[in-house]
Structure 1
């Protein structure tokens, strides 16, 4: 069990620089009332599990009132809790209990768009063009003889055009689903509203925000065409992180975050914000971070790295160099609610699991902040065979691509699905779990020395307590190795910890880094050292 002092919540101003943060996809974590949907009361019951896992903070996906067209990322009310998930009192209880256990709470903020059922958009639907109600959103006249064509060629991230026409002929922008109209962030009323929303949740004790689509709030003046998809046959979303789009990563977006930072800084306890942002270069991504803007931005390049030593080395070097420039920590992530689980990305089956376990040790040994997605500590794979009629991702309806496979409720105990997701005797689950998951449940893995859950518990404990890993410095020392081997060392207080990852085709002999502390796969002693198997990682200590 990991123990900690809850008074750290008031004293550690740099907690977010090296935290391990666990993403809770609320509807799939734990169901307290037996309706088949995870809720805040279920999360509250499982907080001791997260404390004992060894994480520092929880990021909660949206739990606000919503028609749930996009899993709650279509918000109808930013200051309440959807009845599916409980009440504001339930949320307050989660905050109190989490803080008592030494856990911080980060909530998802969705500022790029609202739900089409938000009172503002309901008013905009019936208002006249150029009215104050429509000025809160991005409305435009269409092209063509009678305005029958969309205002430009922008595409939805979910597929298809990014514009929908109302009965009066005007079009509104939705970079995601038509049920998610984009806000107009050049409107002072929108800016004032979200400043108040920030204060509402900060007043309730939240420790930070994950900013959804942080790169998307400002659209280029004049709404110019992209001029890309029609010529190449590719979707515009494929340009994310490769080229600047007129609706993403506009320079003016930074003015917004410069007004948010003083709000965060005005509260005690080092409240923070992390950007979900895509930019065409690491340098542009780094602009979201700094003492006058946001504290962090996700490093999706690490998530997208290929299973090769060269790919990981390049991504790590780039991220660490940028972190030094901006004076903020890197943020590593292997999986989240929008991406296929990395067990499956790395090959699925035994190979994918071996590689995922090794990648976990690689990530947790790096300086900076690590974000874990619920269930990765159990080695869960993507569920690839969900029945089509059960899929709820709006992207699936438009492109055939679904994110539901990484959102299946996680298994807690028992022999039959949904494996303790709900209260005793409940068989309901909004998405079905595979029969093979009974072997991956929390109960099945607890106390099993070579299980993925115990690997994470051990690694997180060492990460929290080892002097070489607890320092906030971004410095690592790469070791000279054979091709396909990654090895870097972090040092502090006369102790050196070296992480070795074998991505070659042969076992790697290691003798010079000391004794092993933890390994993703059992090591073999050889002469005066050890053999690290293929697709494995280990931490070695030398004093």
Structure 2
């Protein structure tokens, strides 16, 4: 073993105080002018790294490799790729780094090799069962380990690939050219230790263990995080501790925090682990302008052993991974950071830090401030310290692996080779061009990002609290401010960060630090002493403070003002509404109008931009209507699209005030009013005719396209009725012939309602309105956007919700005559699972028998719906198992929902009616118990399959024909993203949603009793109400289970079924509670009772 350099401190915990700089040898500096970086070039740039202040360099793989995966496809563990130099070059570089006090971490990619590796070449040619063959994982069938997720879905369709030479399938968790090693083989484990010793003997200070959750495979598992992996890691760590000092193992486990913590063991596995889930949430927080994502994930992160350490990062050589976020959060991140699909890869975003943050210096500084103050060791990705750009048009992740930009010279000073000889082209994007963004320019400017980063690094290195201290989040009422303390021994650092793009203030109540003085560390400014009174801070846009603390001496109700009608001056004729200057004028008018519209979702959010992006003209015999599509970008970077049909009228006497957009004057003597044409029956009929006649129309950028297979008649429609004109979805009924749904809020992508309705229509499912046609907006290089769907109308008596309310009122009157019988039964409702196979009391049957039979029929139709949705081989409908990945994602989503709702409940408790506040307190105190139920589901094997479901199943979505039911509204949970609504779920979610709807109906039915002259008081009706709810739920669930019990989407185990249904009921009830707390607190009593009923009855 080589002797250690004296410049390296003899500290086994050196990694806790480290600043790690991650780089690829080939990307850093080319010393021999062949267009590829090398070790000699890296050694020449060590002075730069020393000046920057980093004390650890993490090198990406530099071993011999075909380079199909940037070196992670290793062909030999014992050499240096010729592109990068020789082993002697590496050894010299290592000595020079140690001389400067810089340690070196390299990669040990032990999960897989390249298919060019001699081991694999020998294995594929060796007999089955032989020692050499068993270096890898083989199977005669690709059915083994079924259900294990495919990680690189963009590139691979299976984890098995057939090898013609071996006449067998080999296992790979990543690319098919990277076969996985077989760790059941003792020879493989010995070989790995042999090469580990080789690099440790050369003096490397640490090894990053790539993809370690996947080392072992086991049938019936997810093949991730298996106990065998931890056994092997303990052996690996023990070997290192016995033979080497001051070395570190860094785990790469892209998993949820509680899945990663076991990789530390009891300080006897890996020393460090990358914290993947925190990284996307830092980016989410700054776009949402809310500290919750950061606080939430760190609160979920379990405590780690004393000598272990998290590794924190903003960006690295891979995509900004979104595996460890919920589906909804992933869609949000795509929307605000990667609207262009070229920016996405696998489940992530392939962009550098500066382009992600739109090259905003304030945001870049804030993100680095957060990175450096988080509990763990920060990692800087090469080039991010100068704000380098990327190139999304390069393949794979190469766009963020381009040459380091050293100067404004040719090839950015990286190489003197012919520019076409470079391994990747340099960045020429005007905003990040190497002539402007380079080390030389920034070294000469002390106000540059590079100098600021040097200051930040040196400041962090002064305080051990950042690397070794505890973290304590402060409870602040302003969610746009993140406030926390880092403490270690006598060091106390207060960190404040404004996540918003506007000035914010915060009051901190920190009486426990009374008498201490805050010293602002960047400017060394001393602030007044802390007292028992709240301490007020004001922070500028994306501002932050680091303070060293040392000893020295009613809710606002927003009202919408009365709108004054603006005047729109039109240049030319009505046909020219969005041409030339008219377009900009109309944009200003629309901006003013939508603030008063019920269908506009962005009230209270700052709007950065409103732009008309498209317009179509729908002609009528007399009028011309314009369908205007406009786009809004909010201050939090979210972009939404809306449709606004615009009509012209000379008089608005017959229009409601909400319909009138503006007064109209014209250079062609046209005067009158512009109005929302949704309020015009003429427009609605013209819209229908346009679709019925299969007309396509070109607009500014795209086309309106219809999906009707053939034309359908519209000439005998005598009556038009419209529902929900002021809402995001408008429903229009044309006589007894057609029903049309028009979407005001638009989302590019496959509409779940259209997709499922089309599918059910093709399967001839009789209990829906059959799809007649659809209208979509199509533009090049974007997914189609659904504007409307037309169905064949089915005569009905309205929704089952209204039918239920009427039914209950009539039966309450009859039940009043036998109220004594009802009052003998306890008023608190029971749990329907306890009476699934029981018979209700005779007097209960007398009153509710008819409705129970109707619920049994509805449950039967529901089971049939789910059965049809589960019987398809189409990818969009094909059933899928409950994988660990899915379960963790769902758990994370529910966990966040519960935590947010409990926090909201705590803030709003005093505003609730006094008689239900105690219920609220009980629920708050039950938070851990509630979360534990979901955790139990997450951790258990689920035998059922996931399928496409309705997604928002309730009494209001079911139409009653007088004899049977029509199911409508397959759009899912409106407000969620399209991809989230298209996810495959347990159909028990639909059942849970229906049960919650029944509960709401039972409460709503008594709402008008005090004002209706009803002979009994509400309190007297409660026993009837509770019994109806209990037996109705039992009737629905019993019938549903009977008609779906043998289907693959149903759990095989009854306890599993009950637990799933309880959890889905709880999840739905928390969604309801959050909505009620925000909108009508007096109705919180309904979800309160629903939650308490479950947690009390199912302890």
Asked whether 1:488 is paired with 2:484, we answer yes
| Counterpart Cα distance in 1 of 2:274 and 2:145 | 32
RMSD: 2.9
Tell me what 2:397 maps to: 403
Whole-angstrom distance in 2 between the partners of 1:125 and 1:501: 56
Q: What is the CA–CA distance in structure 2 between the aligned matches of 1:283 and 1:153, rounded to whole Å?
A: 22
Q: 1:498 aligned to 2:473? A: no
**Residues 50-97 of structure 1, C-alpha deviations (whole Å, 9 max, x = no match):** 111111211111111111111111111101101011111011011100
Equivalent residue, structure 2, for 1:208: 206
The answer as to whether partners of 2:470 and 2:488 remain within 8 angstroms in 1 is no
1:61-140 equivalence runs, <5 A: 61-140=60-139
Relative to structure 2, which stretch is displaced further, 501-510 or 453-462?
501-510
Between the aligned partners of 2:43 and 2:210, the Cα distance in structure 1 is 24
For 2:296, the equivalent position in structure 1 comes to 314
CA shift for structure 1 position 466: 3.3
**Structure 1 unaligned residues grouped into runs of 5+:** 144-148, 225-244, 392-401
Aligned to 1:465: 462
SS at match of 1:120: helix
Counterpart-to-counterpart distance in 1, 2:446 and 2:519: 18
Distance in 2 of aligned mates of 1:217 and 1:381? 35
**1:287 maps to which residue?**
262
Matches of 2:381 and 2:49 in 1, distance apart? 12
Confirm or deny: 8 A CA contact 1:475 1:490 kept in the other structure: yes
Q: Deviations over 1:302-357 (max 9, x none)?
A: 112113411112223334x423x56522221111111234536744243xx53232
CA distance in 1, matches of 2:5, 2:549: 31
Q: Would the aligned equivalents of 2:137 and 2:171 in 1 still touch at CA under 8 Å?
A: yes
Higher relative contact order (CA 8 A, sep 6+): 1
SS at match of 1:419: helix
Tell me by how many angstroms 1:483 deviates: 2.0
Q: How does 1:121-200 map to 2 (within 5 A)?
A: 121-142=120-141, 152=146, 155=150, 157=152, 158-167=155-164, 169-200=167-198
1:420 aligns with 2:410: no
Contact 2:257 2:277 (C-alpha < 8 Å) held by counterparts: no
Change (3 A) 1:468 1:192: closer
Native 8 Å contact 1:490 1:496 kept in 2: yes
The whole-number CA distance in structure 1 between the counterparts of 2:268 and 2:11 is 20
Structure 1 SS opposite 2:226 = coil
Q: Helix, strand or coil: the match of 2:258?
A: helix
Q: CA deviation at 1:301?
A: 0.9
Quote the residue 2:522 is aligned against.
518
Cα distance in 2 for partners of 1:501, 1:131 equals 60
2:376 matched to 1:368? yes
CA shift in 2, pair 1:505/1:73, >3 Å: closer
- 1:9–1:102 CA contact under 8 A, matched in 2: yes
Corresponding residue for 1:507?
A: 503
Q: Is the 8 A contact 2:503 2:540 kept in 1?
A: yes
Name the SS of the counterpart of 2:372 in structure 1: helix
| Higher mean C-alpha deviation, range 510-519 or range 155-164 | 510-519
1:353-385: per-residue Cα shift (whole Å, max 9, x none)?
A: 532321111111233211221111112233223
Residue 532 (1) aligns with residue 539 (2): yes
Give distance in 2, aligned partners of 1:425 and 1:181.
Answer: 36
Extract unaligned runs of 5+ from structure 2. 320-349, 509-516, 528-534, 551-1099
In 2, Cα distance between the equivalents of 1:295 and 1:287? 11
Q: What's the CA shift string for 1:13-36, capped at 9, x where partnerless? A: 210123111111222111111111
Query: Per the alignment, do residues 382 and 322 of structure 1 end up closer, same or farther by CA in structure 2, a change over 3 Å counting?
Result: farther
Residue-pair matches, total: 486
Task: Rate the CA distance shift 1:152–1:440 in 2: closer, same or farther, 3 A.
Answer: same
Cα distance change, pair 380–518 in 1 and its aligned pair in 2 (3 A):
farther
Query: Is the CA contact 1:346–1:356 (under 8 Å) kept in the aligned structure 2?
Result: no
- Larger Rg belongs to: 2
Structure ranking higher in helix proportion: 2
- Once the two structures are superposed, the pairs formed by residues 289-368 of structure 1 within 5 Å of their partners are 289-290=264-265, 291-305=267-281, 306-307=284-285, 308-319=290-301, 321-323=302-304, 327-339=307-319, 340-341=350-351, 343=353, 346-350=356-360, 353-368=361-376
1:184/1:410 Cα in 2 relative to 1: closer, same or farther (>3 Å)? same
**Distance in 2 between the 1:457 and 1:479 partners?**
32
Tell me the SS of whatever aligns to 2:460. helix
Compared with structure 1, are the counterparts of its residues 177 and 32 closer, same or farther at alpha carbon in structure 2 (3 Å cutoff)? same
- Length-normalised TM-score, structure 1: 0.82
